[in-house]
Amino acid sequence: MRLRLIDERFSSPQGCVVIDSEAGEFLVCVRKEVVRASVSSLVSARGAVLSPDSIGQWLDSARGTPVRRRAWIRFGRRTYKGTVRRVGAKSCVVRYDDGSFEAGVKRSRITYETDEAAAVSKFFAFVSERHEMWARRTRGEAWPWTTDEALRDYAFCNVYRELDRGTVYFRRRASDDVYWCSLVYRLLNKIESFSTWRDRIPTRTEWPSFKRHLFQRRRDGHAVFSSAHQTMGLDRYIATVESAPKTVSMTSPQEAYAQLRDLDNLGPFFAWQIVCDIMEASVDHDENSFVVLGPGAKKGLRRIFGKDDVDLAKRLTKRAPEIMRDFVPLGGRPLTLKNVEHCLCEYEKYHNPHRRKFKSRSSLDQSLVCAKCNDPNPKNDHQLLFCDLCNYPVHADCLPSDTIPDREWFCPACAQAWHVKTSKLKHIS
């Protein structure tokens, strides 16, 4: 098949537009990928000169969802300016400022130009609404807890990491050996792998028994790992846990992170999650002193500012109270740098079409009984009340009347630790 270049203006480092004069088709060539369409869909006469507008009209009618967003497009080590014309599930169509087009551009290569004030406002609007969803659910309001369709229908973590079901389970079932428990728990990150064993996180001496349990679950066809993160497989998981050092620094999050990064098979994301557990377990660690930006958080920052930098996350943390004036902090603690990193990841997920559907997991609480009266049944029409940080269950009637909450409720042990740590929190300068 003979091909000829239509117009040099349509050529770019990524590909070019060519025409097959015999078949009456034109091709948008992107590296080794080809998007094919009939010339008759663009012009009435075969062989007519195609213009940037006519090509753009075809792309807009045939590819994805229409948008008009200015962006920087990365190609190798160089960056080109253009306009994102159409966004599909995994890729988009870009028109460069020189008039050329590229189809099939991966979304990861796109960095949008934004109006910073508007972008920051949208981020904090997301944060505020997501936390209000949690509050409405806590107050016992019926689903849906929001009118935002994405937040309503898809799964998002809470604004405060401490409120996520996985972290709540960890807090209640972990021993005082926080580092070991976090290593064992976070690399699996699936509650059912622990609840079907002894409903707790194994100690070092219980590790052989737990290891046998995991192999049995795999043989029985049950999922051992969470599907939310990329996992290493059971054999590598066991090798990683058993080759890990017995201790890491519990006094410095920075030192703990550096030591964890030296472990085989432990990347920056999981190392940071373990450090978060260590920070949350101690009242002496300042959550504004250290942060590691995960892949999602970096994408979230690029969506807001066009670039990712820790100082930008610090800026968001510092500005949060003045922008979200109606935001009710959890237990009086304002958003920390650790929380903002967590929210940035969820904000990027909010804009990603590949989201997990929301599925309630409240059934995991059905086997709990009141810690005061040991009765699982409602009392005077009052259901069990759970500590928002550790899931400590108790009937409202088993509490003093002046402690029944209208929003969050912490058990005495969690309340003391939470307020002490909040009082020691340092502000970002």
> Across the chain, what does the average pLDDT equal?
80
Strands 78-87 and 65-75: antiparallel
Residue type, 176: D
Mean pLDDT lowest among 29-38, 55-64, 86-95, 414-423:
29-38
Taking the alpha carbons of 394, 397, 403, 409 in that order, is the dihedral positive or negative? Answer: positive
Predicted pLDDT of residue 68? 60
Q: How confident is the model at residue 76 (pLDDT cuts 50, 70, 90)?
A: low
Predicted pLDDT of residue 274? 96
256-295 pLDDT, tens digit each: 999 999 998 899 999 999 999 999 998 889 999 999 999 9
Q: Rounded to 5, what percent of the chain is helix, strand, coil?
A: 40, 15, 40
Q: 10 Å Cβ neighbour count for 174?
A: 20
Predicted pLDDT of residue 121? 86
Q: 8 is written with which tokens?
A: 């040099």
For residue 393, count CB atoms less than 10 angstroms from its CB and return exposed for 0-12, middle for 13-18, buried for 19 or more. buried
Predicted pLDDT of residue 16? 47
Domain covering 363-423, topology: Herpes Virus-1 (3.30.40)
Predicted pLDDT of residue 370? 87
Best mean pLDDT range from 58-67, 336-345, 402-411: 336-345
Predicted pLDDT of residue 403? 65
Residue 97 has pLDDT above 60, yes or no: yes
Here the contacts of 135-141 (C-beta below 8 Å, separation 24 or greater) are: 135/328, 135/407, 135/408, 138/388, 138/407, 138/408, 139/406, 139/407
Mean pLDDT lowest among 70-84, 331-345, 353-367:
353-367
Residue 92 has pLDDT above 70, yes or no: yes
Helix axes 165-173, 178-186, angle to 10 degrees: 140
307-323 pLDDT, tens digit each: 889 999 999 999 999 88
Residue 174 has pLDDT above 90, yes or no: yes
**For the chain, percent of residues with pLDDT exceeding 70:** 77
Here the contacts of 262-265 (C-beta below 8 Å, separation 24 or greater) are: 264/239, 264/240, 265/232, 265/236, 265/237, 265/239, 265/240
> What pTM value is reported for the model?
0.73
* Spans of all domains in the chain: 4-112, 116-350, 363-423
Tell me which residue has tokens 């066809």.
221
- The whole-angstrom separation of Cα 302 and Cα 312 is 10
Q: How confident is the model at residue 86 (pLDDT cuts 50, 70, 90)?
A: low
Q: 87 is written with which tokens?
A: 């966004």
- The whole-angstrom separation of Cα 208 and Cα 181 is 14
Mean pLDDT lowest among 24-38, 113-127, 172-186, 381-395:
24-38
Taking the alpha carbons of 207, 212, 218, 221 in that order, is the dihedral positive or negative? Answer: negative
209-220 pLDDT, tens digit each: 999 999 999 999
Residue 36 main-chain phi, psi, to 5 deg: -110, 140
The gap between the terminal CA atoms of the chain, to the nearest Å, is 65
- Asked if the peptide bond before residue 144 counts as cis, ω within 30 degrees of 0, the response is yes
Using alpha carbons only, how large is the chain's radius of gyration in Å?
26
Residue 21 main-chain phi, psi, to 5 deg: -70, -25
For residue 93, count CB atoms less than 10 angstroms from its CB and return exposed for 0-12, middle for 13-18, buried for 19 or more. buried
Predicted pLDDT of residue 381? 57
Taking the alpha carbons of 117, 119, 123, 125 in that order, is the dihedral positive or negative? Answer: positive
Higher pLDDT, 290 or 250: 290
Q: How confident is the model at residue 57 (pLDDT cuts 50, 70, 90)?
A: low
Higher pLDDT, 182 or 78: 182
Higher pLDDT, 96 or 305: 305
Predicted pLDDT of residue 358? 76
Residue 63 has pLDDT above 90, yes or no: no
